[in-house]
C-alpha cells in the first residue's frame, strides 16, 4: 500500500517526542472511562461526608452546630484528617501508574514507538497530578466552601484557606512523585505501595521522636500548617521549611524517576 | 545496497548469562528475512536490542545506518513491531488503538482517519473497529497487532513469532499480508514454523544458544552445505567407468552410493556448481552401457537443514 502524501509526519523533538499523545492517552484513562466518576463519588463521600458527620454528628444535628468553634473544627478536620485520607487515595491511585503497564506488557509495546522515556514518565506524572488535585483537593474544597456558606453563612478565610490548599496540594504532589518514582524502581505494586504508605504513616509517629530539623525536611508537618493558615491561627516559625523541603523532594523524586526509567530494560 | 540491519559482535548478558553471544547479522533491504532458532536461542533478545528495549553489553548494531543506542527514536519512526504476545490497552477499541499508535507518527486529520480505516480493512477488523479490545479473540488481537505495526508505513517490519498462535487460515492471512508488504518494506521475522519460512523468506538466519550458526539465502540453505551443490542420480548398468571418470574431476567433493530399485542411487557432492552443471551428466553418459533414469539437484527440507545446523552447532560446542 502506497503512503498517502497528505499524511503529515510528527517531527522527532528530543525528550518531548510522543509526550502530547501519551498525555492524551493518560487523560483518556481517567476521563473516557467511568474511573473519574467512581473516584469523584468516593472522595466526596470520604472527605465531605466525614465533614458532615463532624458538623451534624452524634446521631443527629448538634444543637450548637452553628457555633463558631465548629467552624474551626471543620477546617482542622478538613486539612488534617481529610488530607490524610486523600493521601491514602493518592498512593492508591498512583501505585499502579508505572507498575501495571510493566506487568501487562504495554510498556514494552509503547517503547517500540517513537516516544522518549522522559515523555512516558512526565506524561504519567502530570496526568496523575491534575487528576489528584482536581478530585481530591479542588472539588472537596469547593464543597467545604458550600458547606461553610450554608451552615455559617460565610466563606472560609482567605487567603489562609487558599494557602492551606496550596500546602496540601504540595504534599499530594510529593506523594504522586514518590509513588511514580517507586514505580520506576519496582515491578510489583506491593513494594511501591508498601514504601509509600510506610512513609506516610511514619509521619504520624516519627515526629514525636525525630529531631525537629529532620521533620521539617519532610512533608509531614504540612497538614498542620495548612490547618493553622485556614483557621487564622498563629503560624509556627519556619513554617516554610517543610514547604521548601517538599518542593525539593518532588524535584529529587522526578529526577530519580527519569534517571531510573532511562536505564530500565524491557 | 544499503543494509536494513547490520550487527557487529552484538552481545547481551543478563546477570552473567549471555543471551546473545557476539552475532554478526546482515539484512538486505526489501527482503523477507526469517530469523530461526529453538526456544531460548536469543531471537527475542536480538529483536529487543534492535528496538532499544534492552541495551547491548558489547558490540554495535545499526538499523538503516543509524545506531541502535544513539538514534533509537529515529529508528523507531521507521520501524513497525509486532510482539510475540501483543498487549494493548484493554479499554480502547481497535480504532482508538490505531489512532493512538498512528499519532506517534502523523498529525491528526482526515488523512490519518483514512489511513486508520484502510488499515482496519486490510486486516479485516473494520466491522469490529469500535468494540473494546478486551472482547477480542487471539486471532483478532494478532490482526490488530499487524495493523498497528504497519500503520506508519514502516521501512522495516519486525515480527516476533507472528503466526505462532494462529490457526491455518490466520497463518495464511499473515503470510499474505507479509507478501503484500515486501515491495515497500523489509520484513524481519522470527518464527519456529519452518514451513512458513520456506514459503515466504528470501534469506534465513539460524540462532542457537545465543550464536548465529547459519545465515544464507533460502536457496543456498536448501541446496545443502554452504558452497556445495549435490546432485541425485539414479543409474544402472556398468557404472565403473563412469564413476572413475567423475571421481577424477577436482570439483567432486564426495560421492555416496546406495542400491535402489535394482540400480544405484548416487549422491554427488560438488564444489563448483557451474562446472558440474556443464560436465557431470555428459561425463556419465559417455559410457554407453550406463542408463540414467533420473538426474537432478538435491533440495533439502528446511526442517532437515535446521536440525542439521543446530546439531552441528551442538557438536562443535
Task: Give residue-wise pLDDT tens across range B121-152.
Answer: 988 899 999 999 988 888 888 889 989 999 99
Secondary element (H or E) of residue B36: strand B32-36
Which option is the CATH number for B3-222: 3.40.225.10, 3.40.50.300, 2.60.120.260, 3.40.50.1470?
Answer: 3.40.50.300
Task: Report, as an integer, the average pLDDT of B186-192.
Answer: 90
Judged by CB atoms closer than 8 Å, whether chains meet at A8 and B100 is answered as no
CB pairs under 8 A between A and B: 88
Judged by CB atoms closer than 8 Å, whether chains meet at A12 and B106 is answered as no
Q: Collect all residues of chain A within an 8 Å Cβ-Cβ radius of residue B87.
A: 104-106, 108-109
When scoring A13, A31, A112 by the number of chain B Cβ atoms within 10 A, the one with the most, hence best to mutate, is A112
**Cα–Cα distance measured from residue A154 to residue A87, given in angstroms and rounded to the nearest whole number:** 28
Judged by CB atoms closer than 8 Å, whether chains meet at B88 and A109 is answered as yes
Location of each CATH 3.40.50.300 domain in chain B: 3-222
Q: What is the pLDDT of residue B103?
A: 96
Q: What is the pLDDT of residue B162?
A: 84
Residue of B nearest to A33 (CA): B91
Predicted confidence (pLDDT) at residue B309 exceeds the cutoff of 90: no
Task: Give residue-wise pLDDT tens across range B236-295.
Answer: 988 888 899 999 999 999 998 888 878 899 999 898 888 998 999 999 998 888 999 999
Contact predicate A199/A247, CB 8 Å: no
Residue that has been written with the C-alpha cell 545499526 in this structure:
B62
**Cα–Cα distance measured from residue A261 to residue B299, given in angstroms and rounded to the nearest whole number:** 50
Residues of chain A with pLDDT under 70: 1-2, 57-69
Residue of A nearest to B153 (CA): A3
Judged by CB atoms closer than 8 Å, whether chains meet at B114 and A12 is answered as no
Q: What is the pLDDT of residue B224?
A: 64
Measured between CA atoms, how close is B8 to chain A, in angstroms?
Answer: 21
Q: What is the pLDDT of residue A60?
A: 47
**Cα–Cα distance measured from residue A87 to residue B99, given in angstroms and rounded to the nearest whole number:** 35
Q: Collect all residues of chain A within an 8 Å Cβ-Cβ radius of residue B180.
A: 1
Closest CA to A7 of B100, B103, B93, B146: B103
**Cα–Cα distance measured from residue B293 to residue A118, given in angstroms and rounded to the nearest whole number:** 70
The DSSP secondary-structure symbol of A208 reads: G
Nearest by CB to A21, from B54, B85, B104: name it.
B104
When scoring B13, B14, B104 by the number of chain A Cβ atoms within 10 A, the one with the most, hence best to mutate, is B104
Q: What is the ipTM of this complex?
A: 0.86
Q: Is the dihedral of CA A138, A184, A100, B188 positive or negative?
A: positive
Q: Collect all residues of chain B within an 8 Å Cβ-Cβ radius of residue A8.
A: 106-107, 109, 111
The DSSP secondary-structure symbol of B127 reads: G
Measured between CA atoms, how close is B205 to chain A, in angstroms?
Answer: 23
Q: Collect all residues of chain B within an 8 Å Cβ-Cβ radius of residue A19.
A: none
Task: Report, as an integer, the average pLDDT of B174-197.
Answer: 83
**Cα–Cα distance measured from residue B252 to residue A215, given in angstroms and rounded to the nearest whole number:** 87
Residue of A nearest to B178 (CA): A1
Location of each CATH 3.30.70.260 domain in chain B: 229-297
Q: Collect all residues of chain B within an 8 Å Cβ-Cβ radius of residue A12.
A: 73-74, 77
Closest CA to B80 of B34, B147, B144: B147
When scoring A113, A124, A266 by the number of chain B Cβ atoms within 10 A, the one with the most, hence best to mutate, is A113
Q: Give the range among A85-99, B6-20, B196-210 with minimum mean pLDDT.
A: B196-210
Q: Where are the domains of chain A?
A: 14-263
Task: Give residue-wise pLDDT tens across range B172-184.
Answer: 877 887 877 877 8
Judged by CB atoms closer than 8 Å, whether chains meet at B111 and A8 is answered as yes
Cα distances from A121 to residues A144, A265, B231, in angstroms, run 33, 15, 61
Judged by CB atoms closer than 8 Å, whether chains meet at A106 and B87 is answered as yes
Measured between CA atoms, how close is B201 to chain A, in angstroms?
Answer: 20
Measured between CA atoms, how close is B317 to chain A, in angstroms?
Answer: 30
Residue A66 has which C-alpha cell?
452553628
Measured between CA atoms, how close is A190 to chain B, in angstroms?
Answer: 22
Superfamily of structural domain B229-297 = ACT domain (3.30.70.260)
Q: How many residues does chain B have?
A: 317
Nearest by CB to B111, from A4, A12, A32: name it.
A4
Q: Collect all residues of chain B within an 8 Å Cβ-Cβ radius of residue A102.
A: none
Judged by CB atoms closer than 8 Å, whether chains meet at A106 and B89 is answered as yes
Q: What is the pLDDT of residue B88?
A: 92
Task: Report, as an integer, the average pLDDT of B56-69.
Answer: 95
Contact predicate A248/A216, CB 8 Å: no
Residue of B nearest to A25 (CA): B100
Task: Give residue-wise pLDDT tens across range A38-53.
Answer: 988 988 888 888 877 7
Nearest by CB to B104, from A32, A106, A115: name it.
A115
Residue B317 has which C-alpha cell?
560446542
Q: Collect all residues of chain A within an 8 Å Cβ-Cβ radius of residue B77.
A: 12, 114
The distance of Cα B311 from the centroid of its chain, to the nearest Å, equals 19
Judged by CB atoms closer than 8 Å, whether chains meet at A114 and B85 is answered as no
Amino acid at each position: 500500500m502506497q503512503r498517502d502524501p497528505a499524511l503529515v509526519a510528527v517531527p522527532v523533538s528530543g525528550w518531548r517526542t510522543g509526550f502530547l499523545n501519551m498525555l492524551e492517552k493518560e487523560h483518556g484513562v481517567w476521563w473516557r472511562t467511568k474511573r473519574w466518576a467512581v473516584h469523584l463519588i468516593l472522595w466526596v463521600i470520604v472527605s465531605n461526608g466525614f465533614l458532615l458527620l463532624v458538623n451534624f454528628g452524634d446521631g443527629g444535628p448538634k444543637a450548637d452546630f452553628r457555633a463558631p468553634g465548629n467552624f474551626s473544627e471543620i477546617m482542622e478536620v478538613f486539612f488534617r484528617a481529610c488530607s490524610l485520607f486523600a493521601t491514602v487515595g493518592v498512593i492508591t491511585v498512583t501505585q499502579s501508574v508505572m507498575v501495571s503497564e510493566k506487568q501487562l506488557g504495554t510498556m514494552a509495546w509503547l517503547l517500540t514507538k517513537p516516544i522518549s522515556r522522559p515523555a512516558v514518565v512526565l506524561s504519567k506524572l502530570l496526568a496523575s497530578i491534575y487528576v489528584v488535585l482536581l478530585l481530591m483537593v479542588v472539588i472537596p474544597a469547593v464543597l467545604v466552601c458550600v458547606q461553610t456558606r450554608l451552615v455559617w453563612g460565610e466563606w472560609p478565610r482567605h487567603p489562609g484557606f487558599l494557602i492551606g490548599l496550596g500546602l496540601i496540594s504540595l504534599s499530594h504532589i510529593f506523594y504522586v512523585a514518590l509513588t511514580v518514582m517507586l514505580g520506576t524502581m519496582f515491578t510489583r505494586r506491593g513494594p511501591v505501595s508498601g514504601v509509600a504508605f510506610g512513609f506516610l504513616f511514619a509521619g504520624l509517629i516519627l515526629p514525636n521522636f525525630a529531631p525537629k530539623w529532620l521533620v521539617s525536611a519532610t512533608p509531614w508537618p504540612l497538614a498542620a500548617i495548612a490547618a493553622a493558615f485556614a483557621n487564622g491561627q498563629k503560624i509556627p516559625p519556619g513554617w516554610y521549611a517543610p514547604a521548601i523541603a517538599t518542593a525539593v523532594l518532588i524535584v529529587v523524586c522526578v529526577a530519580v524517576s527519569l534517571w531510573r526509567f532511562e536505564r530500565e530494560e524491557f | 545496497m544499503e543494509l536494513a540491519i547490520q550487527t557487529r559482535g552484538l552481545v547481551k548478558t543478563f546477570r552473567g548469562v549471555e543471551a546473545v553471544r557476539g552475532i554478526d547479522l546482515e539484512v538486505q533491504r526489501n527482503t523477507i528475512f526469517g530469523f530461526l532458532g529453538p526456544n531460548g536461542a536469543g531471537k527475542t533478545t536480538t529483536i529487543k536490542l534492535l528496538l532499544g528495549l534492552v541495551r547491548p553489553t558489547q558490540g554495535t548494531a545499526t538499523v538503516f545506518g543509524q545506531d541502535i543506542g544513539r538514534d533509537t527514536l529515529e529508528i523507531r519512526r521507521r520501524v513497525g513491531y509486532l510482539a510475540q504476545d501483543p498487549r494493548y490497552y484493554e479499554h480502547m477499541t481497535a480504532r482508538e488503538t490505531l489512532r493512538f499508535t498512528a499519532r506517534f507518527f502523523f498529525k491528526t486529520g482526515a488523512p490519518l482517519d483514512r489511513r486508520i480505516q484502510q488499515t482496519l480493512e486490510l486486516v479485516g477488523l473494520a466491522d469490529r473497529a469500535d468494540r473494546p479490545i478486551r472482547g477480542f479473540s487471539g486471532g483478532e488481537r494478532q490482526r490488530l497487532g499487524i495493523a498497528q505495526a504497519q500503520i506508519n508505513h514502516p521501512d522495516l517490519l519486525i515480527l516476533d513469532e507472528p503466526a505462532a498462535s494462529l490457526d491455518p487460515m490466520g497463518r495464511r492471512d499473515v503470510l499474505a499480508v507479509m507478501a503484500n508488504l515486501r515491495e515497500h518494506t523489509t520484513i524481519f521475522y522470527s518464527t519456529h514454523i519452518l514451513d512458513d519460512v520456506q514459503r515466504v523468506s528470501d534469506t534465513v538466519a539460524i540462532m542457537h544458544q545465543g550464536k548465529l550458526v547459519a545465515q544464507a539465502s533460502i536457496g543456498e540453505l536448501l541446496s545443502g552445505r554452504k558452497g556445495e551443490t549435490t546432485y541425485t542420480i539414479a543409474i544402472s548398468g556398468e557404472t565403473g567407468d563412469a564413476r572413475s571418470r567423475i571421481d577424477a574431476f577436482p570439483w567432486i567433493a564426495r560421492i555416496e552410493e546406495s542400491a535402489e530399485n535394482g540400480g544405484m542411487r548416487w549422491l554427488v557432492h560438488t564444489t563448483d556448481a557451474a562446472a558440474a552443471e556443464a560436465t557431470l551428466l555428459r561425463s556419465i553418459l559417455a559410457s554407453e552401457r550406463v542408463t540414467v533414469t533420473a538426474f537432478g539437484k538435491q533440495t533439502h527440507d528446511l526442517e532437515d537443514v535446521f536440525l542439521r545446523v543446530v546439531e552441528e552447532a551442538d557438536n562443535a560446542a
